[in-house]
Each structure stands twice: as C-alpha cells, then as structure tokens.
Structure 1
Amino acid sequence: MKKHVFLTANILAMFMASAQQQPADYVNPFIGASTSTGKAGTYHGLGKTFPGAATPFGMVQLSPNTITGGDNGSGYSYEHTTIEGFAFTQMSGVGWYGDLGNFLVMPATGPLETAAGKEDTPHKGGYRSVYDKASEKASAGYYSVQLTKHNIKAELTAAPHSGILRFTFPAHQQSRIQIDLARRVGGTSTLQYVKVVDDHTIEGWMQCTPDGGGWGNGDGKANYTIHFYAQFSKPLKKVGIWSANIPDGLPRKRENIESDDYQQRIANADVFTGLKEKKGKHLGFYTEFATSEGEQVLMKAGISLVSIAGAKKNLQAEIKDWNFDQVRKAANELWNDALGKLIVEGGDEEKKTVFYTALYHTMIDPRAMADVDGQYPGGDHRAHTTKQFTKRTVFSGWDVFRSQMPLQTIINPVVVNDMVNSLVELADQTNNKYFERWEFFNAYSGCMLGNPAISMITDAYAKGIRNFNVPKALTYAINSSEKFGNGEKGYTPGGLSVSHTLEYAYTEWATAKLAGFLGNREAEKKYRLRSQSYRNIFDSSKQWFRPRKEDGSWEPWPEEGRLKEWYGCMEANLYQQGWFVPHDVPGMIALMGGKDKVLADLDNFFENVPENMMWNNCYNHANEPVHHVPFLYNRLGAPWLTQKWTRAICSRAYKNSVEGLVGNEDVGQMSAWYVLAASGLHPVCPGDTRYEITSPVFNTIRFKLDPRYASGKTFTIIAKNNSPENLYIQRASLNGNPYTKSYIDHKDLTAGGTLQLEMGPAPNPAWGK
C-alpha cells in the first residue's frame, strides 16, 4: 500500500513539474514595443523594442514593421494601425533614427502595389495592411497577426541565421508574396540585386550605405550588405521585379525617402513581369499564384553579411524542410536554454513576466555576425573565418557597459569574450588601432561619448575572461585614451564638458587597471593620475561639477542651475551626470562636502522623482548616466536606502505592458539593470569585481554558471521572509557563515554557493555598513 502511495505521489509530482511554466513561457515581447514620444512625454520615446521572432544573440530578427522613417529605430510601434511588412533584421531599443529592417516580406492579393503607402491613409493605396490588433500574438521565437486588408494570417519564426514565414491565404486567383528589397528602417538600401535560381528559389543582396540614411541618418557611417537565399513552398510560376526610377545624384537620406516625390517614384515603379534577374537602386520582387480558402504558403530565407553562398549555407543548415512548427519549437528551446541560466522563484506571475522578458531583451545583442561556418565580414571589407570566437556586432557601448555587459560576464561570459575579440579585430582590420565606442556592423559610428570598450575589456579581464589578444587590447585601450581622453589638459572643454570629462576619467582609470594587470607600471601610473581629472571640473563655489571652456574659465551658470538639461551634459543635467565618478567614490564624496551632505543630496535626488519614474530632472531612470546611483548608498554606509530605492525602481519603472519601460531599451541596458537589481546584485564600477548587494524582488534566484569560467556550478541568492513589505535585509550568510558586507566579489559568486538574506519590514542599520 505504501509503495502504491509513493508511486502515485511520484506520478503527481512529475505531472505538476511538466505542467510548470518554462522561462520562455513568461516572455512578453510587447513590453517596451512603442516609440511614442507622446506617451513618453519626451523626445526620446519609450522602450523602442520589437515584438518579432528572434533567437538568443542571433543574426535574424523576423518582425513586423509598421513605419519607415522618423526616429523609430525598431521599425515598429504598438499604437500604429497598419503593418508594412515583415523584415529579417531589426535593432532593439535605439534612437538616432535606427537601421536594418531589411528584406521586407508582405503577402497580398489582387493587383500589385509597389509602394507601402501612408499610415494615415491606408485606403488610398499601398501594400501596407490594416491589421486586427486583437489577433496579434508574440512569444519567444514566434509572432502572428491577421492582416485584414486581404484577410491573410501571417506567422513568423526564426533560427539563428534564417527565418520562415507562414501565410494563410483566402481563396483568390491572384495571391502574392512580395519583397521590398530596398526597404530600410532609417532610410533606404542604395543598391540591390535579385535572381530567380529555380522554380522555388531566389537569391541576391541589398547594399546599405550612409548615402541611404540608416544609422544616424548616415552620420553613423553604417555600410553593410545583406545577402539572402530564399525559397518558397509554392512554385515560382508567375514572377516579376519592380524597379523605381531613381536618378543619379538624387538625395536618399531619411527625409528624402519620406517625401511625397520619392514615394511617388516608388508607387510608379516599372514592373517587369517574367524578369528573373536585375540589379538596381530600388527593386522589389514578387511571385503570384492562386490559392484556395485557408491554403498555407511558406517562405524561408537565410541571410549572410558575407555572401549569397553563406546565406544558402545558413538556410540549409538550420531550416532543411517546411516544418514551420518544428522551427518554432527549436527557437523556443533555444530561449528556454538561454533564459534558464537564471531561475527565479517567488514573486507573482507579473513579476516573472517582467523579469524573463527583461532577460530576453538582454539576449538580442551583441548578435552574431558570422555565418554557420565561422565566416564573417571584417573591418577591411573582406571575408574572414575563425572558429576561435563568434564575430559579434551592435555594441551600444555608452549604454551597455553599465549593466548589460556585467550581467553577461556572469551568465554568458563567452559572449563577452566574443565581443572583446570582435572589437580588437575590428581595430586591427580597419587599421584604426583604437576602440569604437558604438560599433554597428563594423562601422565606427562615433555615437555617444567616452571609451566604453575599455570598461568592458577591463571588467572582462578582471573577472577571468581573457581568451583574446590581451597585449593588443591594452595597446588599443591606451590609443583610445590618448585619442579620446582628458589628456595633459586635465579636462575636456566644450558643450558636453562634464559628461566627457567624467566618462574619460573613469575609462582612464580602467586603462590604468588593465595596464596594472599586465605589469605595465608606467602606463598604470600615467592613467591612474589622469583618472583624477574629474576634480578639475568641480567648482567649489557651486559645490558641484561645471563645464569649462578651452581657456579654463567656467561656462556661465544657468538660471536653472544643475537642473538644466544639456548644460555640459549628454542627454542629462549636472545633477544626474555629476554622480558619475564610479572609480573613486570616496574622492567624490569628499569633494561634495562629506558623507552627511551627500546623503541628504541623494535623498533629495530620489524623493523628487515622479511616481511613474518617467523622464525627469532628478533620478532619471529612463537614461543611463544615473543607473549606478541607487547603489551609492551602499558606499555611504546606508545600504538600506539602496534596498529601498532599487525595490521602488523595479516596481515603478518596469511593468508588464507596452509602456512597461520608462525609456529606450538601449540594446539590453535598461533590461539588464532590472535583471541584476531584481536578483539582488549590481556593480557601481565595472572593472572592479565588486557587486553591491541589494534587496531581491524574488525569494530565490539561481545563476547557472559557465564551467569554462567558473569553478562552481550555481550561485543562489535566497531571500527569506521576502515580500513587498519585507524589503530590508536584516542579516546575511554566505555558504552558511555570517556575512556582514553589503557587497560580494565576482570570485565568490563564480565559486558557487548560496547567499542567504533574511528580510524584514524595517531597516537594520547594523548590517552591511
């Protein structure tokens, strides 16, 4: 009888375990999927994420696109009422007009239309379609929607280098799949080529240069070519190519292609029925066929940044047949494996959705730039092959050095190592010999400021991630600090003097740290001295940082004082930027007047934040410069205030909704902050191996460690008696021993073990000081 009961209990436990949700089940790709400046209350807009299908760090992001042009980096905004098509590449969470959105596929019926048409007048023509908002569904690796213009259901899923679309058509004698080969989120591709290979296959490429806008409307210097190899489940019996008349010399930046004149040229494109090969400045391809009611027609494609042969190889390796559901299942499994590196327990379903979606958003970039055989495009515009690392791209440096890359050092150290190798090789191949601060598809875009690559590389090395050319990395770090740094002058003058000077002082410290690791004492001494240059822009009469002119005099003090946005600062004010001395917090505190004064000022900084934590003049979580500030309380001997405010930010600035991110996602940074803070850890100073301990959102957080970089298998944080009210740490133990510090070192984390925190409703001022 006992044996029967035991077996029954076992079966019940197995059933319950199988019924439990997997990490990918919690992902809601619509979180942050809006570019609306109106709802954000600022020109930066909201999260700017995309809802389409992707795989962890994959080359393909197969997603709906609702808009071309404007500052709509993801190509999608939830409040838009029409869809232009489904593109194979997207950016996540960026401003500066964005890029990608290439290889735009759209199903249709009836007469061919060669232009998308306008969002506000879809009834006046164009291939864009109104869609049934209620039908729109998205999950990790899958997206579907009902297009109502022609009553077609569209479904998308992805593999790392390829994607497959499934369209369910109505009964119609003139059904179609058409591809806009010129389309690009922030402008247009400037040259395209397409060829019909056989009765099921096309191939070609799309060249995107700064002349066609794109990243920074051309100022980002993006210059890449997407090669494709695409196949259709239905034979290519009636095909054609359209080509718009684009005269030589006609400007083709974002504002040009948005104009009525340019759009009219596309709408009046020449259509070449039966043509099977063409090169041109604005091409599209279509295949037409009859469909019965509910007939499914599929299209799959591999892409490559190297060659058509690479695109073909990618497709053949990943999507061998027409089993859409199997590809979807494989994508879901990839996400469960990736998201399973962090398992949380406790917290309600909403919090788990916010957490796992945030973790999902941290694994879009840095994406693979290499084909399945390791071949990738180099900075010298030649093909290279390596099996030593995966070439990666989209390094949003100024954003991601703060939380995103430190998070990956714990859960994906191989990705960090890949990114370091990619930047070192790029500096080599371009012969620039310095690191780009915001790398995009091998472009030295020059976006934002500082030398964030040095931060990431020093942080990686300090944490034992060292499988790259370390001496060369130090050389390029020194070159970067010399090219972009405070130099002998001891500060950087100009309109962004404070942001530049403080950011450079920090990365000059990181350069010194890296030099010290390698035994270069001369460089270590030189850059450690320069790291103190932050002091040179501190005005004792104002008791705060202040921008200096070239001649050393101060810029005039504004009426708004340190609350004036853009006064000496990038996208911030002095109050926000002035806290950025992460490498010398004691020195900063002393400059500012001591512990008590700084604590009072920090309290004011947080207490004057609006309840919804949207863009504001105090703690502005919507933008990166302040992301380390809540953890400064730990350094000031008041860790309970770090606990209070990180819990408040997690609750007030992150929601399970389209407006659930208070600012741009910025290629994983906004979400990485949440993942770390909600887990109970976050760095103040990447390059230092210290993580500040704070109040976890969940009862249990388990990090799965990489055996190539960690001696332990897992590191677990347990918060006993945790609840929204019990947010303060009372006492702690590490591996069963009392633990009184408000921080933990990376080596203790990677050794594995358990950090247990006992939580309560009131601060315990005796712990963690």
Structure 2
Amino acid sequence: TDASIRMVDATHVEGFVSTYPKYVKTYDPAGKVNMYFYGEISKAPASVGAFSAAGTQPNTKSATGKGAGLFLNYKTTAQEKIELKIGLSYTSIANAKANLLAEAKSLTFDQARTAAQATWQRELSKIAVEGPDEQNKTKFYTGLFHALLGRGIASDVSGAYPKHGGQVGQLVASGPGPKPEFMNTDAIWGGYWNITQLWALSYPEWYGNYVNTQLQVYRDKGWFGDGLANSEYVSGVGTNFVGLAVAGAYQLGIRNYDVNLAYQAVRANELNYRHRAFGSGKMDVKAFTQYGYVPFRDDYKEYKGEWYKTDSTGAYFANSHTLEYSYSAFAAAQMAKSLGKKADYEQLIKLSNGWQKILNPQNKLMQPKLADGTFASNFNAFEPWRGFQEGNAMQYTFYVPQNPAGLIAALG
C-alpha cells in the first residue's frame, strides 16, 4: 500500500514497505504488515536512479509510493564484486540498522554463507536418518528444512516486536531460560499433528518461542491467533488450535513462560465467546459449550455473501469443528488437571466427549446434527465440505485421538 526508499549517503540505503494482505483485510482489518530495512553497499555507485508505479526518474536518490525502488549504476572491472548487506525489521528503520550492526557489522558474503551452512548443518543434524536409499534421505532433509523455515523470527535484537496496527512492543522474559523470540507463524491448524511433535523432540526452544509469541498476542489483543503476521490474525480456517498446542507444551515440560497466564489463555480459547475477535476463530464456541456439539447450519454454505459461515448458533463445518473442539477440550482438561483446576477439568473433559453426540448409531458415522437434535437429511458420507472442512464423514469419523478405545467400542 505504501513504500519509501532513499540513499542516506553514498553507501547506505534505508526504507520501508507497508502491505495489506488479503487475510489481514479479512480477519484483522485494522491491521497492517510493515517491513523496514537498512542497507550497506561495499562500493559507492557512479549514479543512482529511482522508480515507482509512476515511472522512472534518473539521477534521483529517493522514491516513495507503491513500487518504490532505486537502481544503482556501476563501472566495474572484470570479476569485481559488490556486496550489499541488508538489515531487516518489522518495527522500524532504526531497529533494522541495529539488527544489521549486531549481526553483520563486519560480516562478508563468504562469511555469511559459511555461517549459514554451519547453522543449517547443526539444525538438520539434530535428527539422524539411516538407510541405504539416498533419495529418501534427500526427501526427508528437504522436508525438515522446509518445516524449520515455516515460522520466522519477527522480533529485533533489542526485543522490540510488531504489535497490532503497526505499533511496537517490547518483549519481557517471564520464565526460565533465554529471552524468547517473537514469531510470525502460519496457522497451527493441522500443524499440531506434526510441527509440535518435531519441536518437542528436537527443537524445544522453538516450541517455547511459539508459546511465548501466542501469550504476548493474548496480552495485547485478548485472544490467541491460529496464524499470525506481525501480530495480525491471518488464519483462513476459522478455527484455533493454539490452546491445544500450548497445553501440549506444558505437558511436555516446556514452561519458559507465565504458566498461570498460559492456562488462563488456554481456558479462554476453549470456553469463552463474549466479545471474541473474528480473526481468532472458533466463533461457534458458544454453541459448542451450550449443546456439547456444534449444530449444523446447511444455509451457511453461502450466507449473505459469506462462504462457510460460523457464528454463535452453529457452522457449516459443524462436524469437523465438533471433533476438533472435543480434542482441544481434552488437551485443556489435562492442563487443568495438572494445575488442580478441578471444576474446569470436569467441564472440559465432558466437552471432550462431544464426538459422541454427532455419531449416528444407525450408520456408525459422524453425521451433521441440527440444533433440534436431529441428524441432517440428504447425508452422503463421501461428500466433502458439507459439515467437514477439507474432508468428509468417511475420513473425519475416525478423528477421536483423545479416546480411540471409546471410538472402537462405539463403532463395534
């Protein structure tokens, strides 16, 4: 939406870009995502020009507006190298400069490459794979590399981090161990099946960073965010599994955070619905806690221009939500039990049996159920999306990880 760049002097450049991504517009409309930079060039250019959406301007050392940038002209000799070092920050140009000075003040390109290779060698070597098939090893480590790239540090060396709406906050350590980083993160929906296990086994410091990030967002905004970009809610799935992930970290012994605050936030994610932010997801928590399942709203497939609607009365993805909320309620119940929250435990463990309310004893399948207690008609177990997000009854019927023995007994 906006950008700016300028030459500070002959060999230094600074600027910013401000964006308004589609998911921010949809789920956190008052938000924005800013990136600031400060760069150092190893050799002064012979001339500088600027460009933007409005056109190109030679012999100009600054540009503003959408598409703003600079081009540098050089007279070089054979094999001459020119290096550009860039410091980045989500909070300010000053912090971008501070990050550059802290991490790369005297760093050359070759030194940076060597350090990056050593870092990846160390991180990837935390898991050793044996076997004769080199192709499978390549696939595994490529996947591991991508998994570790999926969440990025958004805080500065000073502890500054991006808050909602372009504001800046300051991280404060609240538990044992090193001061945590603030992260940008894709939605944990689905990720709790794999990324949290990976973190728990080999990268617990990243699990701790994730929990601390979510707790900072809870302090700032009152709710967890299943996906985050600069503190803005960006999860497009309409649900929220952060409570389960945080409860899992606690059970694993990863506790470099305020445990009481963490439980408060986990409980709120499972049970609270008043003034709930749309971008935090789970807008049908009220219905789930009232009925013990989420009532199916067939009319919410497309309702007044909104696809797959969810609100306090129910949801189009009612069955997948019921199964998900049952599982996350179980995880929260275990945390409540460990902390001696007996009443909360009993409420949450009861909700964890919500799957039983949508299991049709006639066909032994999870079938969408209406608010009046009857099962939805025209049911096709192979039909995707109707009642189930990214799946169908044939798949989701087996989604009871908190009580497989109970599911087996119910199915026969």
Matches within 5 A, 1:231-630: 231-244=40-53, 269-321=54-106, 323-379=108-164, 381-386=167-172, 388-430=179-221, 432=222, 434-482=223-271, 483=273, 484=282, 485=285, 486-493=288-295, 494=297, 495-558=316-379, 561-593=380-412
Q: Which amino acid aligns with 1:376?
A: Y
How far apart, CA to CA, are the structure 2 residues paired with 1:503 and 1:239? Answer: 56
1:450 and 1:504 in contact (8 A); partners too: no
1:228 touches 1:312 (CA, 8 Å); kept in 2? Answer: yes
What is the CA distance between 1:343 and its match in structure 2? 1.8
Q: 1:705 corresponds to which residue? A: none
Shift of 1:322: 6.4
Contact residue 298 and residue 322 of structure 1 kept, 8 A: no
Residue identity in the other structure for 2:37? F
1:376 is displaced (CA, Å) by 1.5
In the alignment, the residues of structure 2 paired with residue 538 and residue 568 of structure 1 have an alpha-carbon distance, to the nearest angstrom, of 13
* Distance in 1 between residues matched to 2:118 and 2:197, nearest whole Å: 25
Contact 2:63 2:69 in 1 (8 A): no
- Distance in 1, matches of 2:145 and 2:71, equals 34
Write the distance in 2 (CA, Å) between the matches of 1:568 and 1:224.
33
Instruction: Tell me if structure 2 keeps the 8 A contact 1:197–1:203.
Output: yes
SS class of match (1:557): coil
Amino acid of the residue matched to residue 242 of structure 2?
Answer: A
Post-superposition offset of 1:440? 2.7
More strand by share: 1
- CA distances 1:24-47 after superposition (whole Å, capped 9, x unpaired): xxxxxxxxxxxxxxxxxxxxxxxx
Quote the offset at 1:513 in angstroms.
1.2
**Paired residues of 2:160 and 2:168 also in contact (CA < 8 A):** no
Residue 230 of structure 1 and its aligned partner are, at CA, apart by 1.5
> Does the 8 A contact of 2:159 with 2:171 survive in 1?
yes
Structure-2-length-normalised TM-score: 0.85
After superposition, the CA RMSD in angstroms is 2.0
**% identity of equivalent residues:** 28
SS in 2 for 1:313: helix
CA distance in 2, matches of 1:491, 1:451: 16
Alpha-carbon displacement from aligned partner over 1:278-335 (angstroms, at most 9, x marks no partner): 4323312211223445443332211001111111122222233463222111000001
Contact 1:545–1:574 under 8 Å retained in 2? yes
Q: 1:218, 1:540 → 2: CA distance?
A: 43
How far residue 217 of structure 1 moved from its aligned partner, in angstroms, is 7.7
1:440–1:291 Cα change, 3 Å? same
Greater relative contact order (CA < 8 Å, ≥ 6 in sequence): 1
Between structures 1 and 2, the one with greater helix share: 2
Deviation at 1:414, TM superposition (A): 1.4
2:301 match = none
Q: Match of 2:206, SS?
A: helix
> How far is 1:575 from its partner?
1.1
Change beyond 3 A, Cα 1:288–1:507: same
Residue identity opposite 1:208 in structure 2: T
**Unpaired stretches in structure 2, ≥5 consecutive residues:** 174-178, 274-281, 298-315
Stretches of structure 1 that go unaligned for 5 or more consecutive residues are 1-189, 245-268, 594-769
Describe the shift of the 1:424–1:379 C-alpha distance in structure 2 as closer, same or farther (beyond 3 A): farther
The match for 2:176 is: none
The residue that corresponds to 2:33 in the other structure is 224
CA distance in 2, matches of 1:205, 1:358: 32
Once the two structures are superposed, residues 453-493 of structure 1 have per-residue CA deviations (whole angstroms, 9 ceiling, x without a partner) of 11111111111111111111111112111233311211112
Give the residue type in structure 1 aligned to 2:210. Answer: M
Distance, in Å, in 2 between the alignment partners of 1:270 and 1:418 is 43
Does the residue aligned with 1:397 lie in a helix, a strand or coil? coil
Rounded to whole Å, the distance in 2 between the matches of 1:416 and 1:273 is: 49
Q: Quick one: which amino acid aligns to residue 392 of structure 1?
A: M
Taking structure 1 as reference, are residues 458 and 322 closer, same or farther at Cα in structure 2, changes over 3 Å only?
Answer: closer
Distance 1:347 1:458, change over 3 A: farther
What are the Cα deviations for residues 213-250 of structure 1, in whole angstroms up to 9, with x where unaligned? x3538325462110001222331331122232xxxxxx
Partners of 2:107 and 2:251 in 1: CA distance:
47
Structure 2: which amino acid aligns with 1:351?
N
| Count of residues in Structure 1 that have an aligned counterpart in Structure 2 | 372
Structure 2 CA distance for aligned equivalents of residues 473 and 322 of structure 1: 39
Larger Rg: 1
Q: Which residue is equivalent to 1:70?
A: none
